Amino acid sequence: MRTDVLVVGGGGREHALISGLKRSAGIGRVFCAPGNAGIGKDAILVPIKADDLTGLADFAEREGIGLTVVGPEAPLVAGVADVFRGRGLTVFGPSADGALLEGSKAFAKEVMASAGIPTGEAAAFTDYGSARAHLEEHGAPVVVKADGLAAGKGVTVASTIDEADAALRECFLDRRFGDAGRTVLLEERLLGEELSLLAIVSDDWVLPLAAAQDYKRIHDGDKGPNTGGMGCYSPVPSVHSHDYEEIVDLAIRRTVEELSRRGTSFRGVLYAGIILTESGPKVLEFNCRFGDPETQVLIPRLRSDLLEILLAAARGEELPASAEWTPGPCVGVVMASDGYPESSSNGDVIRGLEAASALEGVEVFHSGTAQNREGELVTAGGRVLTVSAVGASFGEARKRVYSGVGLISFDGAQHRTDIGHRAQIAEQIRE
């Protein structure tokens, strides 16, 4: 019997999930709500927004959906999985109490402290005066974080007290992030290589996914402002498998055990952002969902059956101890529109997608795309596409991905040219 699936969300992450699900032998119809123009070529689009929790559950019930996979964090934090489970529907994603790990950075810190998970020193404040006093006492550099969800914009890495003060004022006095900025964390700045560690969790079972590395800054050489992610690669050659197992224990298993002690069962993705500091790995933050663009490089490498894994986790059933991956790497390059990340440009015609997708090993995932009145594919947001390529080596994957990027054009397109470069150098040194 085939399983009909609903994927909630409309970005590159959801497009990659759909591509992975469609490779599964047991897949039936695939719906995406609300999706985007590119996803519409691979799934049936449903015009229901990701924050319409009841509308999504009504649809799943009406269509006999066997599995709903929730992409973005906001509906999970708002309790979409609770709504689904309350109606007897099978859903992949944690309940609101588990999603609070991403929904409240202060809560995540408290869980980490109870579970003995290494992380940066931090203090939480609910008013400007006490935060400012703490800032004067401890100085900069410091990281200022709005506690709640702020669409990826609530974190400032401040090099000076003035920068930190401006970020505090934005949260407390200008109320830029609304309720998400009612509580603010001042956190020690951690230095070191960053690692994205994603694991599928099914109550007490943990299935770690392959390591990935994300590039947050807009320009080559990690210059310029932070973005939602400009590219990614997997695996991460600088992390050896025994170290990785240790990090999974430290960051994921301890968290799942701590949540379980508190009576919270977690069924979904637990994603730890890790910094490999000189004094060992430390957890920077938790997310309660697949990463974007991490998913766009993990799914092309996954050889295990994605549908079976997600179904098992959604039902709280046993997971395999590990997944199967292509031995070669995957490199993903994000193409963003003019002005990103400060603004974005819509309506620019995108050309060259078919030629890029036809290249060996290359897949193109759509994030911000739409169709104009003439039926042309146009930009519709900041991050527009992720071009991903697998290869036998980082050298080959990078060659393929940048050939793909070179064939795609739209006015004002921006991308980084150094995605996976360090990994390629490491690979050449080993050869």
Q: Where along the sequence are the contacts to ligand GLY (CB under 6 A)?
A: 214, 229, 287, 291-292, 294
Closer residue to ligand GLY in complex, CB, 10/66: 10
Which residue is nearest to ligand GLY, using beta carbons? Answer: 291
How far apart (Å, rounded) are the C-alpha atoms in residues 57 and 48? Answer: 10
Least CB distance from residue 292 to ligand GLY, whole Å?
5
Q: How far apart are CA 259 and CA 42, in angstroms?
A: 36
Smallest gap, in angstroms, from Cβ of residue 13 to ligand GLY? 7
Question: Residue 411 CB, nearest distance to ligand GLY (Å)?
Answer: 26
Between CA 313 and CA 67 the distance in angstroms is 11
Q: Output 27 or 218, the one with its CB closest to ligand GLY.
A: 218
Which one, 70 or 377, has the nearer CB to ligand GLY?
70
Q: What are phi and psi of 26, to 5 degrees?
A: -90, 10
Nearest-5° angle of CA 117, CA 122, CA 128? Answer: 155
Can you tell me which residue has the tokens 């047991």?
26
Determine the Cα–Cα distance for residues 258 and 146; give it in Å rounded to an integer.
Answer: 24
- Which of 82, 214 has the CB closer to ligand GLY? 214
Rank residues 187 and 294 by Cβ distance to ligand GLY and give the closer one: 294
Q: Which is nearer to ligand GLY, 35 or 229 (CB)?
A: 229
Task: Count CB atoms within 10 A of the CB of residue 72.
Answer: 22
Q: How far is CA 131 from the centre of its chain?
A: 29
Query: What's the closest the beta carbon of residue 376 comes to ligand GLY, in angstroms?
Result: 29
CA atoms within 13 A on the CB side of 76: 31
- The least distance separating ligand GLY from the CB of residue 355, rounded to whole angstroms, comes to 28
Q: Supply 147's token pair.
A: 């506690």
- Residue 145, beta-bridge partner list: 155, 185
And the tokens for 257? 């055990």
> In this structure, which amino acid lies at residue 411?
D
Minimum gap (Å) between residue 216 Cβ and ligand GLY: 7
Q: CA-to-CA distance for 343 and 345, rounded, in angstroms?
A: 7
Shortest distance in whole angstroms from residue 243 CB to ligand GLY: 21
Least separation in angstroms between residue 234's CB and ligand GLY is: 12
354 exposed, middle or buried (CB, 10 Å; 0-12, 13-18, 19+)? Answer: exposed
Q: Which is nearer to ligand GLY, 226 or 371 (CB)?
A: 226
Beta strands in 17-148 (DSSP E): 27-34, 44-45, 67-70, 91-92, 122-125, 142-146
Task: Give the closest residue to 295 by CA, choosing from 369, 383, 379.
Answer: 383
CB of 74 to ligand GLY, least distance (A): 12
- 214 or 348: CB nearest ligand GLY: 214
User: Whose Cβ is closer to ligand GLY: residue 106's or residue 334's?
Assistant: 334
Residue 229 or 235: the one with the smaller Cβ distance to ligand GLY is 229
What CA–CA distance (Å, rounded) separates 413 from 387? 13
CA distance 364 to 115: 40
Is the CB of residue 54 less than 8 Å from the CB of residue 25? no
